[in-house]
Structure 1
Amino acid sequence: MKIAFYGSSLLSSRWNGAATYYRGIIKALAALGYDVTFYEPDVYGRQQNRDIDPPDWCKVVVYQPTAAAMKGVTARAAEADIVVKASGVGFEDDALFGQVLDAASPQALTIFWDVDAPATLASLAADGDQPLRAQLDRVDLVLTYGGGDPVVYGYRALGVKDCIPIYNALDPETHQPVPHDPRFACDLAFLGNRLPDREQRVDDFFFTAAALLPERTFLLGGSGWEDKPMSPNVRYIGHVGTADHNAFNVSPKAVLNISRSSMASNGYSPATRVFEAVGAGACLITDAWTGLDLFLKEGEEVLAARDGWDVVDILNELTPLRATAIGQRARERVLREHTYDRRAAEVDQIVRNRVPARRMEAV
């Protein structure tokens, strides 16, 4: 089956936290026989900062951020059996979604794939007159990259036909243990872009811990932190390309995950960084959130902190031997239960249960 997938970017992770998720899901779907074309706009300097070359498992079409170019690529939706519009594409999302739905064949399965469901639902609750609200009435299915029951219930309350979470996962061929790299050596590392929905939590969990442990070394990666005040024991290295993520994760004693506020309050929303880190065998410290135990067992496969003081206590008690053991157990768990092959199999079953029905409805 042919999939037309309209998203932010497959080729670049620059200001694009969904890149790893897109790559993992689509690569695994291709292995199941799906023919995927990914349409992405040339925005935010992503094409000048690609992390991967166009892959052989997916055709990528890059279009210019103009109305005419967008019209051209949305017309291609008519050729697909499955049409996916992701959230946060980054150029005229509302117009893009409308044009994609208009162009899709009546026999096609139409999907809104929300990679930031807690934020989307909060935005719709604040302003129900957004074009997205009416567009959701036209799709067959909403998929989300996390959120659990709160997101499912939130979308169903809006009247969507169905909503199913497809969680982040690990691609073992991409994220795996590698030799330690002295560029990333430290006691605690955090990788994340500077975003309004996360900055206060980064202050609470990362910068507070760094200030309280001046004898420890901290490493900060991600875009946008250049003018952020930070203690002398924090080393800022800017954007870290995906090619360096394995080394970034495996070289520190521990790696910190900090959820954005909306995802932390909602729960059931493991970031791609969680699986990248443990896939490399890292000892992961994460901010605590509801649903964590569905993915990793606290105290054995992951260490959870409620605030920066907890991070301090964890680091003071964490030995290299225990850090290594936690990382190994987490990697074993994720390889058993949380790979993109498993997620793609879920999507495949969902699609196969719905495509025949859609075709019958169109007759």
Structure 2
Amino acid sequence: MGAPLSIAFFASSLVSAYWNGAATYYRGMVRALAGLGHRIVFYEPDAYERQSHRDMDDPDWAKVVVYPATESGVMRSLEAAKGSDLVIKASGVGVFDELLEREVLRLKNEGTQVIFWDVDAPATLERIAANTNDPFRALIPQYDLVLTYGGGDPIVRRYTSFGARTCIPIYNALDPETHYPVHSEPRLEADLSFLGNRLPDRERRVEEFFLAVAKRLPERSFLLAGSGWDDKERSGNVKYLGHLGTCDHNAFNCSPMAVLNVSRDGMARNGFSPATRVFEAAGAGACMITDQWEGVEQFFEPEREIYVAASGEEVAEIMDRLTPSLAAAVGSRALTRVRAQHTYAHRARQFQEIFSAGAKGKPSTGGTL
């Protein structure tokens, strides 16, 4: 590799997972990049009560700068980021995204590359396709590189069609120092559990793949966690926890017989977009059931390392034949696979290969896995 890079990273939050589904992705990538010697300053706004719901202290592997959620706060942070080798603007910061996407490009010069890192590419691309006046459309060709949270060749083709110079998916993964097998906890035991915030582009699928299955299987126990489901109608065999801090995620994954993954609409339509929680659950040795999406077999082998269901009815059928011993065997194989192929150390090496020529070099088009 070239010399270690100084990286300015503008994103939603590194220190709080509150209404911030990408938190563990950022943590895994930033920590692994720091482990390779790169120096990261992570800029995040004081917004959405995230700072009052922190679930980690400032790490020793990155400098965290929390700026006021104001236009002047944004501009001061951009000024501070000048001179970095790489400046990264992630999607979904949550406040002043348009301003950041435009102004971050002013930091480009001979020694600074500016990158857009899309952690929800299907939604971004659907949004700009539907609105020819979306200001981000004209900015895409100006970025040196677009990285995405996933999406495979379909996302690469679509970003390229909007003028992206290069688009490379870097999939989410496992941080084995954060997610690993632990003892089960009685309060988190269930036959099937689901963790996810209530979002408009996820709710219908949660209804089909989880809540309807609970009604169909009244003798089974179900556990729902995540923000926003308080007033959602659910059957009596569904226990609701509310927001679950990341400190409890390992126990959440290890306590039920199986854990359900439900994709958001755009990611399910596009495929090649495994949720971070798929890798986290595998890292805890959980038996996973996922809704069907194209490309799942690139990450885990169906029926051996993960169960795949095309409908709520298929989830119920899997639950009918699943036993604790069978679930344990599937979870064990998933754990072996994820540690061997899908850790953030693997992803950080991919990132490093992309910039192997150094900050002034042109990005290569390294593989997606």
- Give, in whole Å, the separation in 2 of the partners of 1:196 and 1:106: 42
Alignment of 1:95-106 (within 5 A): 95-106=99-110
AA in 2 matched with 1:83: V
**Corresponding residue number in structure 1 for 2:214:** 210
Find the partner of 1:305 among 302, 305, 309. Answer: 309
- Give, in whole Å, the separation in 2 of the partners of 1:340 and 1:105: 29
**Corresponding residue number in structure 1 for 2:47:** 43
1:200: Cα distance to partner? Answer: 0.3
**Corresponding residue number in structure 2 for 1:135:** 139
1:354: Cα distance to partner? Answer: 6.1
Alignment of 1:148-187 (within 5 A): 148-187=152-191
Alignment of 1:221-300 (within 5 A): 221-300=225-304
Deviates more, 1:74-83 or 1:15-24: 74-83
AA in 2 matched with 1:257: N
- Give, in whole Å, the separation in 1 of the partners of 2:160 and 2:108: 23
In the alignment, is residue 333 of structure 1 matched against residue 330 of structure 2?
Answer: no
Find the partner of 2:197 among 193, 198, 210. Answer: 193
**Corresponding residue number in structure 1 for 2:328:** 324
**Corresponding residue number in structure 1 for 2:366:** none
**Corresponding residue number in structure 1 for 2:9:** 5
Find the partner of 2:76 among 72, 75, 98. Answer: 72
In the alignment, is residue 88 of structure 1 matched against residue 96 of structure 2?
Answer: no
- Give, in whole Å, the separation in 1 of the partners of 2:97 and 2:79: 15
1:75: Cα distance to partner? Answer: 1.1
- Give, in whole Å, the separation in 2 of the partners of 1:352 and 1:94: 30
- Give, in whole Å, the separation in 1 of the partners of 2:78 and 2:140: 17
- Give, in whole Å, the separation in 1 of the partners of 2:31 and 2:16: 15
- Give, in whole Å, the separation in 2 of the partners of 1:258 and 1:120: 19
In the alignment, is residue 348 of structure 1 matched against residue 352 of structure 2?
Answer: yes
TM-score (norm 2): 0.96
- Give, in whole Å, the separation in 2 of the partners of 1:290 and 1:137: 28
Contact 2:148 2:170 survives alignment (8 Å): yes
Decide whether aligned partners of structure 1 residues 9 and 93 sit closer, same or farther in structure 2, where only a CA change above 3 A counts. Answer: same
**Corresponding residue number in structure 2 for 1:29:** 33
TM-score (norm 1): 0.97
- Give, in whole Å, the separation in 2 of the partners of 1:325 and 1:137: 47
AA in 1 matched with 2:63: K
- Give, in whole Å, the separation in 1 of the partners of 2:239 and 2:141: 48
Contact 2:104 2:114 survives alignment (8 Å): no
- Give, in whole Å, the separation in 2 of the partners of 1:58 and 1:100: 20
4+ long deviations beyond 6 Å: none
Secondary structure (helix, strand or coil) at the match of 2:142 reads coil
1:133: Cα distance to partner? Answer: 1.1
AA in 2 matched with 1:73: S
1:137: Cα distance to partner? Answer: 1.8
Percent identity over the alignment?
Answer: 55
In the alignment, is residue 20 of structure 1 matched against residue 24 of structure 2?
Answer: yes
AA in 2 matched with 1:351: F
1:109: Cα distance to partner? Answer: 1.4
**Corresponding residue number in structure 2 for 1:61:** 65
- Give, in whole Å, the separation in 2 of the partners of 1:353 and 1:285: 41
- Give, in whole Å, the separation in 2 of the partners of 1:83 and 1:164: 16
